[in-house]
Amino acid sequence: MPLEKNPNIFANNPLDRASNSRTDLDWLNSQLNSPDSLFVPLWRLNPLILPPQKDGEMSDVGWLTRDAIRAFNLAEPMTVLLGVEDGRSYFAVDISEVRDPENKGPLAGMGSYEDLRQISMSIAGSEAAIMAQAKSMIDWHRRHKFCANCGAETEMGDAGYKRACSNCGSEHFPRTDPVVIMLATLGDDRALLGRQKKWPPKMFSALAGFLEPGESIEEAVARELHEEAGIRVKNVTYHSTQPWPYPSSLMIGCFAESETEDITVDGIELTEAHWFEKDKLRDALNGAGDGSVAVPPPMAIAHQLVKSFVED
């Protein structure tokens, strides 16, 4: 049976990542040169996005053929296999060396290179998930060109899922940074939200923080809530996860039952935190109420946590 649909943007990637095939150089070369394969160019980590064909329709990802990619005249552009669907292979290509590709060159005027965060809700959900994978993978390669063990330059392998050092023999693999994001609840009717000074006025969100080495998800939830807001919790439960390509995190959404009510804001991560009643959060989700609190937009897992709490 297929997985249940994840409520979060950047999830629900439909591609088969072909992990059993991407070490086969003959297969990989055949896919790289196949007229059926499609490639999305990323310029400074921004994917090519095509305008909607009609008013009111969603934008499209600018998938190109191999010949169109070759028109950029790049010697050996960084190319990563994203996966396979219905017998067709999909790749991401880094074209950051090209100067002003929107206005100059063979594909000028075709589309624009857009920040993924800004356009994620304007393209199909499955495409947003694939672009999150593409952005994370290209970003990892751009930041890991040298061996962390000896400092020598590394080479890409396994269709983009490994970098190898010929000097010391070390192998390096893409990693995802786990982050807990949690909504502490007090009884059935109140939830804890906090805010940072740099956020838009009245914006409050679920608390979050990176997992530390040797720490479980539950321990990280409890530690972050106590460090940032002075709250003691019990009974941590899982809600959902969200790939977050900034640069390559996995947001792990949780709920936590609070044992204490008094809030002590740390003044570093948070400048303000409050218990909010369910009705007030429901109004905030619906754009109603007195405007004293706003919650993150639907693209954020924090929005889904608040929504789940309100609807429970």
What number of other Cβ atoms are within 10 A of residue 71's Cβ? 12
- CA–CA distance, 213 with 234 (Å, rounded to integer): 21
Cα distance between residue 307 and residue 309, in whole Å: 5
Cβ neighbours for 127, distance < 8 A, ≥ 6 positions apart: 60, 61
DSSP string of 68-132, one letter each residue: HHHTT--SS--EEEEEEETTEEEEEEE-TTSS-TTTSSTTTTS-EE--HHHHTTTS-HHHHHHHH
CA distance between the termini of the chain: 26
Band of the pLDDT at 53, cuts 50, 70, 90? confident
Question: Residue 3: pLDDT above 90?
Answer: no
Q: Is the pLDDT of residue 103 over 70?
A: yes
DSSP class of 42: E
pLDDT score for 56: 87
Q: What is the mean pLDDT of residues 44-63?
A: 95
Q: What is the pLDDT of residues 255-294, one digit of tens each?
A: 999 999 999 999 999 999 999 999 999 999 998 888 899 9
> Mean of the pLDDT values across residues 32-40?
98
Q: What is the pLDDT of residues 221-248, one digit of tens each?
A: 999 999 999 999 999 999 999 999 999 9
**Local confidence band at 79 (pLDDT 50, 70, 90 cut-offs):** very high
pLDDT in tens, 111-147: 999 999 999 999 999 999 999 999 999 999 999 999 9
How far apart, in whole angstroms, are the C-alpha atoms of residue 90 and residue 113?
18
Q: Looking at residues 51-59, what average pLDDT do you find?
A: 91
Distance CA 8, CA 107 (A): 33
Residue 1 — pLDDT band, cuts 50, 70, 90? low
190-222, pLDDT tens digit by residue?
999 999 999 999 999 999 999 999 999 999 999
Whether residue 150 is predicted with pLDDT greater than 90 in this model: the reply is yes
Q: Which three-class secondary structure state does DSSP give residue 139? A: helix
The average pLDDT across 174-181 equals 97
Extract the tokens encoding 234: 């019990």
**Where do the domains of the chain lie, and which CATH numbers do they carry?**
1-142 (3.90.79), 144-174 (no CATH), 177-311 (3.90.79.10)
